[in-house]
Amino acid sequence: MPNLTSQQARTIVDAAFAAARESGFKPMGVVVIDASAQVMASAREDGASPLRLDIALGKAGASIGMGVNSRALVQRATDMPAFFAAIPAVAQQKFIPQTGAVLILDAQGAVIGAAGASGGSGDEDEQIVMAGIVAAGLKHPA
């Protein structure tokens, strides 16, 4: 089974930051986790507020835990608020169902991790982690 490498994880973070700077977004925090929700790489840009990494980790944890990009979880949380409110109490990982995290796929389409960002709008966060994933030579679900 292919695994996410530490080099790929660092590339995702660095390329996500480069995409954020190119687009003129606010300072970001980015976290990359493997398929077991273990942190492989994380960093917060200069000027990013202290909670950025916690939020990015929660988004990535929700994405890997539910097996979908976090954008899909926003609607699910709206449709089932009691269920989604209960998950953080029982989950072994941080869980924030908010746009800004994307699954990481290998060349065969297997899920090998997730990347989450925080600092901009959910759309901006999602945009930069997608750029990071592609820069690392990996794929993400559209």
Write out pLDDT tens, residues 126-139: 999 999 999 999 99
Rg (CA), the chain: 14
Q: Is the pTM of this model over 0.75?
A: yes
Instruction: Measure the CA angle with vertex 98, ends 92 and 100; round to 5°.
Output: 100
Distance from the Cα of residue 140 to its chain's centroid:
11
Task: Read off the tokens for 77.
Answer: 């949380």
User: Domains of the chain: which residue ranges?
Assistant: 6-135
Q: What's the fold here for domain 6-135?
A: Beta-Lactamase (3.30.450)
Interval 74-102: pLDDT, tens: 999 999 999 999 998 899 889 999 999 99
